Amino acid sequence: MNPSTEELWKTFGDRLRRFIRARVRNDHDADDVLQEAFAKIHTGLPGVNDSERLEAWVFQVTRRAVADHFRRRSASPPAQESPDSAGTLGIASCMGPLMQKLDEPDREALQLADVEGWRQQDLAARLGLSLSGAKSRVQRARERLKETLLECCDVEVDRRGNAIGYTPRNHACSCG
């Protein structure tokens, strides 16, 4: 049996807020993202069947809420970014437009898996694929999105592979 949203709040609320605050600009944004994440957690909780993976699912939903925050921000005029966040924030803000450049099957697979947080089994059923076929589709779509990004921008990464900066290669780039 799944815990209640209130129980999840008591268990994960502070950790999730710290997790979010490390990724967004200010406390106000962190509170907004946390509220959005818990709304999604509340909505999706009845569909969680594996209580052993509950924590991973909660953080996955939260990561997607952070990504949604940056996606929405990219639709409005950009604010000044701090130098240490410019790479990650800027690249995150152009993922939505870059996804639109993908073929429909790739775009749908990424949208369902990485943005909406669908489980691989559910994704396979929705796409009419085997489980391994769905996993392959998502991996190929991620690779194509990466290729699209690298055609558009020169990305600088740290030793752990995290984006720390980028330079658009041309003015038509969604990241520019």
Q: With beta carbons less than 8 A apart as the criterion, state whether 20 and 35 touch.
A: no
SS3 category, 9: helix
- Which of 7-11, 64-68, 121-125, 149-153 shows the lowest mean pLDDT across its residues? 149-153
What percent of the chain is modeled with pLDDT above 70?
Answer: 85
pLDDT value at residue 68:
86
pLDDT score of 49 more than 50: yes
- DSSP helix/strand/coil, 87: helix
- pTM for this prediction: 0.50
170: its two tokens: 């041309």
Select the CATH number that applies to the domain covering 1-77 from these four: 3.40.50.280, 1.10.1740.10, 1.20.1420.30, 1.10.3720.10: 1.10.1740.10
- Name the residue type at position 85: S
Mean pLDDT of the chain: 81
Per-residue model confidence as pLDDT tens digits over 65-116? 998 888 877 654 444 444 444 445 566 667 778 888 899 999 899 888 887 7
- Given a cut of 90, whether residue 6 has pLDDT beyond it is no
Percentage of residues in the chain with pLDDT exceeding 90? 26
Of 32-36, 83-87, 147-151, the least confident? 83-87
Radius of gyration of the chain (CA): 17
Question: What gap in Å lies between CA 84 and CA 22, rounded to an integer?
Answer: 12
Q: Which residues pair with 156 in a beta bridge?
A: 165
- Over residues 46-58, the mean pLDDT reads 86
What pLDDT score does 77 carry?
44
* Helix/strand/coil for 4: coil
| Contacts with 150 (C-beta within 8 Å, 6 or more apart), sequence order | none
